Structure 1
Amino acid sequence: MRKIILVWTWMLGLAASGQTFRQIEPGIYIVTAGQEDAHTPLRYKEPVAKQLREMPAEANPFAKESVHIEVNARGCVVDLPLSADENIYGFGLQMGSFVQNNKKKRPLVNDHPLKDLGYTHAPQPFYISNKGYAVLINTARYTTFYIGTNRKNTDYTPLPDNQKAKFSTDELYRSSAQSGSKPRVQVDIPGAKGVSVLVFAGPDMNSALRRYNLFAGGGSLPALWGLGMKFRLKTDSKQEDAYRIAHYLRDKHIPCDVIGLEPKWQTRAYSCSYVWNNEMFPNPSELISRTRAMGYKLNLWEHAFVHPSSPLHPRLRSKSGSHLVWNGLVPDFADSTAQRIFAAYHDTCFVQKGIAAFKMDECDNSNITRGDLNWSFPELTTFPSGIDGEQMHQLFGLLYQKTLYGVFRKHGMRTCLDVRASGALAAPYPVSVYSDTYDLEDYVRMVCNAGLTGLLWSPEVRESADEEDFFRRVQVAVLSAQTLFNGWYLRYPAWLQFDKQLNNEGQFLSTATKNEDTVRRLLNFRMSLVPYLYAQFARYRMEGTPPFKPLVLNYPTDKAVAEIDNQFLIGDDLLACPIVTKGNERTVYLPEGRWYNFNTNERLEGGRTHTVRFGLDELPLFVREGTILPLSEPVDCLTPQTTFILHCRVYGKQPRNTLLFEDDGVSYAFENGIYNKVSLGWNGRGSLKRTGKLKGIRYRVKSWTQIGKED
């Protein structure tokens, strides 16, 4: 028997040899060995964006003999080259680390990411190198990446042993770069009988990432209202509570576009009935129409596990997994019929009635770091489509959001969704990932990591220890993809009372009015930034360039930015540097060129580190010299009729033109060319040039201010 196994292993390995890369899109190469799984990220991705084919082809960065795939009795092993001075990033929405060199990463979906293991809400078998290429392993299996392993080979030259004494286990066992052999990236995929490896060529880091995002279908362009503020109500709020908060925000002129309803809007929530709770919300149609008249969109919380009382239960019984979650069915989202049933119900009962978005919760796995929190379906679950429980966990969040996104897409309606799990090739979906974790330093790091993996991340604001903690969190939320206040256990907005018990008793802080003013000021800035943000999302959709990204993406040859994960770029011209610790001071590294403090207009030289200070009511933000920054007069909410009155700040003597994107903000007409490009220029005086097929006008310039002309 042992001889038979050895022969079988040798034959599988032999079958994997002799594979060569082939180019499938400009600058994108694929190599396959063995028999791939039926359920992989490539199977479920959106069509390739046409803009990818407009990019110039680039040669494969790997010599064909430098990538090896072995198929053996254990599964698949992929072996890829890694140079000594190379930095590796990616693997999805990583929370605890940024540079991934010399680590073992298991990008597994998990509702409680544990630092440095790779567990995350949005895992991806994908990494990107500062050498200007990216790699996707096309698998939905639980996969381990060894970044910098030292495999025995003929070139290996042993080095003298390091006899320096170690006085802690951390010092003894911590991973470190090893010399004397050629490091590799090795990928272990147990259970796989074959796999494909995709390589995205550069020539630079940004080009490689653009190819990845365009291959996925292009970046997301959410509805314009998705760039405003979202306020989620307390989980047991009633219809009158929704009206109370809606009127409060409008009366105080605190900008808000979306009101989110938490679990108790349904008759059953764990698992879900997807039926309005008439005791809590006696007249949903009135709620939708009244809040819509005030300029709000409604977002409904749910998860995908179907309660026995749900009208969906009998329809999905034969199209669900072998195990239950909270006594509810697990829809087989890998089956097109199950997708259609789930989507059609949401379409008829909610979307056609005026619901604008959904929050998709608990579609990640249980906390696999603990044995006593085993709420989700086990990996041994079977599904009618043939996908197994392991692969379903890795794809579940992605397939769930794809299903609901398709409802809006069918009607030509743009939306802005929330999800607690995602995966590879997710760039086209206008969905922000969120987390029940709440460490502010991690939240900022996740903005950086999301930008390198085609994801949007939502660092929401919930409870706070004090005023300082609260407003530092608000500053991060205002400068992120989605500005979200989540009051799921607070009856009143958190800025009125930070203490949970006192908040729910209606006892407000003595500084409540002052806090309202600060929140209003910060949110007004968010609203003033919408034209700039919208242009970045349009660029994301059409070019694949992420709107929020780490500094290394724009400055890959600057060694000083290689490990910076507490600053990020918004577009190319704004640099955010949030304060995540106590106090109002931090150091910031500014890349090459000159940068201006947004609050004071002080000019600082790039290529060096500076000590800076920001108050609680200021923006931790710098503007690159040469920028024309269009800031709009803030509005309480965003509608298709909103006209942005712009006050343009011109930074420096020779500014670059700024390009804005002008469309109806809610449909996909832009895909048929119904939009305008609005170019803002400066040559001693400001100019606006509009080209395109859209007949309406969304942007009007009211003033121009030149900053730094004397420098």
Structure 2
Amino acid sequence: MKFTDGYWQNLPGVDVLRPRAVDEVVLGERSLTAYAGTGRLATRGDTLNSPLITITLDSPAEGVLGVTVEHHRGGVDPGPAFALADDAPHVVVTGPTAGDARATLTTGNLTARVATTGEWALDIEVDGQVVTGSTSRGVGVVTDAAGRPFVREQLALGVADHVYGLGERFTPFVKNGQTVDVWNADGGTSSEQAYKNVPFYLTDAGYGVLVDHPGHVSFEIASEVVSRTQFSVPGQRLRYYVVAGPDPKDVLRRYTALTGRPARVPDWSYGLWLSTSFTTDYDEATVMSFIDGMAERGLPLSVFHFDCFWMRRFHWCDFVWDPATFPDPEGMLRRLHERDLQVCVWINPYIAQRSHLFEEGRELGYLVKRADGSVWQWDLWQAGMALVDFTNPDATAWYQSKLRALLDTGVDAFKTDFGERIPTDVVWHDGSDPERMHNYYTQLYNKAVFDLLEEVKGEGEAVLFARSATAGGQQFPVHWGGDCESTFVSMAESLRGGLSLASSGFGYWSHDIGGFEGTPDAAVFKRWLAFGLLSSHSRLHGSSSYRVPWAFDEESVKVTQRFTELKLSLMPYLSGVGREAHTDGLPVMRPMVVEFPDEPGAAAVDTQYMLGESLLVAPVFTADGDVDVYVPEGEWTSLLDGSVVSGPRWHRQRHGFDSLPLLVRPGTVLPVGARTDRPDYDHATGVTLRVFGLPDGYDGETVVRGVAGEVRFRVTRDGATVRAEATGAVPDAWALADALGAPVPAQGGTAEITLR
């Protein structure tokens, strides 16, 4: 939200109180608090009729600085609030010294220094270097022309600093110059609105920032003041956290430790998902024809998804299979399981008036109400639609009981659609603030479903296909990119959304291969196939047309087979990257800047990504196959044809539909699996370790998890000799190979090759 007219003046009717004079800084055992007047404090009389701004610094975790800016403290906070960790880290608080008239708070490698006299000033250092800060012009207690209160902060940006994240945003990846409103909306991928709004931004300057407000947060990133990032919230209090790096990976590790790490997902979820699509006509015969068609063409399939019309029209959600199209749902699910498929079904948190659950939910008091006690309803999306009140534990258990019945009959996963159209003119069961609940509702919704899946399926076996989210939503994977058009432009905007989401702490991400709206031409579909099957999760889904490959052309079948089998062969690597998302909070699909923060050429790249730390993927956004790929420093090898390109520089290439730039980072030991028919196999047995550009003297470890347990491969290079030694649950068969050569089978726990 903008409050100023240019740099010097406020907008008409806007009043801003600033901390112009620090009166006192009080040191606590683990915090420090500054009291600053909003006018000059030269005499005692200056304290009369003068507002005071209170700024408190503390730390909930090592390397994380909490900053609270307050005007009036007497308000009531009804919630909700983000669930954040508090590790009670070691904090050092010191007062002014002879050489420095500032008070300091140090947590880990982050130090905050505040002025103890004069105007308010805050410098924030990471590893001894100032990375950002605030001044008296930055902090503001604002009253707008309508008399509404806000609190704002402005943190400094350096000359070459870039800002990323703020959720899944489809606008340019670098957020500098943008205005971003954190407010969940169903706006599609072709708008500035977003399904997954996260009030956290990542920088390449050594830090990130989380604004601790679950409702509407307005960001002006190098826009209202071009040298600062501004954020503001309604009310009398603003709390935010500065998360130290110095590298983006360090920031994401600390941020996800604060807000929650992504759960482990089952290996089967990495395989190819096929959907009925949305408004298409289908029944069990249609479904089985798709599955048979995939099998006849040698296309490995892992999950079949039933979209909305598995239920009767106007009945969403009643969780009852449409008897006209699925007269024997339990038998059908059994038959799908006999084909070795997992089953996902579409749900949302809305209850249409025609659903039998509407009256049940109304009588029990489980539906969100208006202030007069009536059930909140509208006709958008579903006629007479109501909303489950997940702030009521009994309503949550009731909703879960309906899903449990589906799990009992053979459903394996849920696509938790919607969760963005949440009203603010309602009363919540627990008294939550409707403005704050608008974004936070999705957290309760996805948590309720994910918790049930973990209870029934077990830890590591639960998986969603979720659309909406907020901060902390990464705990309940997987999330997909929403409604996109079937064009190259929309394919690129979808990728930008995924990169922004990855910069916001989300470990796994997917999108609709071929686009959702409309029907892609064969060229778009084939290019999107390569992109989709080199994403963390891969789903064929559309709106009004089917997405079976043979509906486009025979080459689409071949492209599907090539990239599906490629992905499945990479499961020893991908499952390891997924475990890293779970343990460290690092995303499977990573923006280039996350892996290469010291390369200026990587800072703004938003048309490619790293799949884990070792594979560079550059989707092709043209029919003719022309693509520009930024190659970081070193010699990179194509995984598809063995060609070598060097960086740092841009390369222009041309690729057929069965190819794209898929480059292996120099110094990589890439574990490649023995199977290409399914993702959930023994990744250790038959694994081949392929080595790419290992420097002389290399000594590293590669871990592969097999059925019998973890295998640790120590790989070394001495001159032209590369040697691998396996410990742990060593499989009977494994091999070692260079980038192009045939694999050399191991002799028990060791293998050796000579580089050419």
Indicate which of 686, 705, 710 corresponds to 1:676. Answer: 710
In terms of fraction of residues, the more strand-rich structure is: 2
Q: Could you give the per-residue CA deviations for residues 661-685 of structure 1, whole angstroms, max 9, x where no partner exists?
A: 5266xxxxxxxxx952533625435
Match of 2:550 in 1: 496
Q: Is residue 60–residue 199 contact of structure 1 (8 Å, CA) maintained in 2? A: no
Q: Is residue 262–residue 585 contact of structure 2 (8 Å, CA) maintained in 1? A: yes
Q: Could you give the per-residue CA deviations for residues 564-583 of structure 1, whole angstroms, max 9, x where no partner exists?
A: 10011111111111111232
Match of 1:354 in 2: 410
Q: Partners of 2:186 and 2:672 in 1: how far apart?
A: 38
TM-score by length of 2: 0.77
Match of 2:54 in 1: 18
Superposed CA RMSD in Å reads 3.3
Equivalent residues in 2 for 1:275-294 (5 A)? 275-294=320-339
Kindly indicate whether residue 509 of structure 2 is the aligned counterpart of residue 433 of structure 1. no
Match of 2:649 in 1: 608
Match of 1:185 in 2: 229
Q: Partners of 2:599 and 2:277 in 1: how far apart?
A: 46
Kindly indicate whether residue 742 of structure 2 is the aligned counterpart of residue 705 of structure 1. no
Q: Partners of 2:64 and 2:166 in 1: how far apart?
A: 19
Aligned-pair CA distance for 1:357: 0.5
Q: Is residue 301–residue 358 contact of structure 1 (8 Å, CA) maintained in 2? A: yes
Q: Residue 701 of structure 1 aligns to which amino acid in structure 2?
A: W
Q: Which moved more, 1:400-409 or 1:242-251?
A: 242-251
Q: Could you give the per-residue CA deviations for residues 433-486 of structure 1, whole angstroms, max 9, x where no partner exists?
A: 231113111122223212101223312224654322111100110111211101
Q: Partners of 1:653 and 1:303 in 2: how far apart?
A: 49
Q: Is residue 154–residue 231 contact of structure 2 (8 Å, CA) maintained in 1? A: yes
Indicate which of 504, 509, 520 corresponds to 1:453. Answer: 504
In terms of fraction of residues, the more helix-rich structure is: 1
Q: Partners of 1:699 and 1:279 in 2: how far apart?
A: 52
Indicate which of 560, 567, 577 corresponds to 1:526. Answer: 567
Q: Is residue 136–residue 199 contact of structure 1 (8 Å, CA) maintained in 2? A: yes
Q: Residue 201 of structure 1 aligns to which amino acid in structure 2?
A: A
Distance 1:642 1:19, change over 3 A: same
Indicate which of 258, 275, 284 corresponds to 2:303. Answer: 258
Kindly indicate whether residue 183 of structure 2 is the aligned counterpart of residue 108 of structure 1. yes
User: Any idea what SS the aligned residue of 1:23 has?
Assistant: strand
Distance 1:304 1:644, change over 3 A: farther
Kindly indicate whether residue 523 of structure 2 is the aligned counterpart of residue 476 of structure 1. no
Match of 1:383 in 2: 428
Distance 1:648 1:315, change over 3 A: same
Match of 1:408 in 2: 453
Match of 2:391 in 1: 334
Distance 1:517 1:48, change over 3 A: farther
Aligned-pair CA distance for 1:211: 0.7
Q: Partners of 1:357 and 1:290 in 2: how far apart?
A: 17
Kindly indicate whether residue 596 of structure 2 is the aligned counterpart of residue 539 of structure 1. no
Distance 1:115 1:239, change over 3 A: closer
Q: Is residue 225–residue 637 contact of structure 1 (8 Å, CA) maintained in 2? A: yes
Q: Partners of 2:700 and 2:406 in 1: how far apart?
A: 43
Q: Partners of 1:185 and 1:245 in 2: how far apart?
A: 50
Q: Partners of 2:212 and 2:711 in 1: how far apart?
A: 37
Match of 1:418 in 2: 465
Q: Is residue 312–residue 342 contact of structure 1 (8 Å, CA) maintained in 2? A: no
Q: Could you give the per-residue CA deviations for residues 210-253 of structure 1, whole angstroms, max 9, x where no partner exists?
A: 11112222233211111111001144421222222223222332
Match of 1:557 in 2: 598
Match of 2:202 in 1: 128
Q: Partners of 2:713 and 2:87 in 1: how far apart?
A: 24
Q: Could you give the per-residue CA deviations for residues 160-210 of structure 1, whole angstroms, max 9, x where no partner exists?
A: xxxxxxxxxxxxxxxxx4xxxxx22221223x3323211211122210111
Aligned-pair CA distance for 1:517: 2.3
Aligned-pair CA distance for 1:71: 6.7
Q: Which moved more, 1:238-247 or 1:20-29?
A: 238-247
Fraction of identical pairs, as percent? 22
TM-score by length of 1: 0.81
Aligned-pair CA distance for 1:384: 2.1
Q: Partners of 2:309 and 2:191 in 1: how far apart?
A: 36
Kindly indicate whether residue 298 of structure 2 is the aligned counterpart of residue 245 of structure 1. no
Aligned-pair CA distance for 1:710: 6.6
Q: Could you give the per-residue CA deviations for residues 638-664 of structure 1, whole angstroms, max 9, x where no partner exists?
A: 447677532332112436645335266
Q: Partners of 1:401 and 1:620 in 2: how far apart?
A: 36
Q: Which has the larger radius of gyration?
A: 2
Q: Partners of 1:698 and 1:474 in 2: how far apart?
A: 33
Q: Partners of 2:315 and 2:87 in 1: how far apart?
A: 38
Q: Is residue 49–residue 217 contact of structure 1 (8 Å, CA) maintained in 2? A: no
User: Any idea what SS the aligned residue of 1:89 has?
Assistant: strand
Q: Which moved more, 1:655-664 or 1:94-103?
A: 655-664
Aligned-pair CA distance for 1:52: 14
Aligned-pair CA distance for 1:341: 1.9
Equivalent residues in 2 for 1:580-659 (5 A)? 580-639=621-680, 645-654=686-695, 657=700, 659=702
Q: Partners of 2:502 and 2:352 in 1: how far apart?
A: 36
Match of 2:495 in 1: 444
Q: Could you give the per-residue CA deviations for residues 297-341 of structure 1, whole angstroms, max 9, x where no partner exists?
A: 000011111134545434532132232243132012233332222
Aligned-pair CA distance for 1:635: 3.5
Match of 1:689 in 2: 726
Q: Residue 466 of structure 1 aligns to which amino acid in structure 2?
A: D
Match of 1:574 in 2: 615
Indicate which of 142, 145, 152 corresponds to 1:77. Answer: 152
Aligned-pair CA distance for 1:15: 7.8
Distance 1:77 1:342, change over 3 A: same
Kindly indicate whether residue 106 of structure 2 is the aligned counterpart of residue 59 of structure 1. no
Q: Residue 175 of structure 2 aligns to which amino acid in structure 1?
A: Q
Q: Is residue 215–residue 438 contact of structure 2 (8 Å, CA) maintained in 1? A: no
* Greater RCO, 1 or 2 (C-alpha within 8 Å, sep 6+): 1
Distance 1:149 1:531, change over 3 A: same
User: Any idea what SS the aligned residue of 2:443 has?
Assistant: helix
Indicate which of 320, 343, 347 corresponds to 1:302. Answer: 347
Distance 1:7 1:479, change over 3 A: closer
User: Any idea what SS the aligned residue of 2:633 has?
Assistant: coil
Distance 1:608 1:51, change over 3 A: farther
Equivalent residues in 2 for 1:140-159 (5 A)? 140-148=214-222
Match of 1:164 in 2: none
Which consecutive unaligned segments of at least 5 residues does structure 1 have? 152-176, 178-182, 366-376, 499-510, 665-673
Q: Partners of 1:628 and 1:186 in 2: how far apart?
A: 43
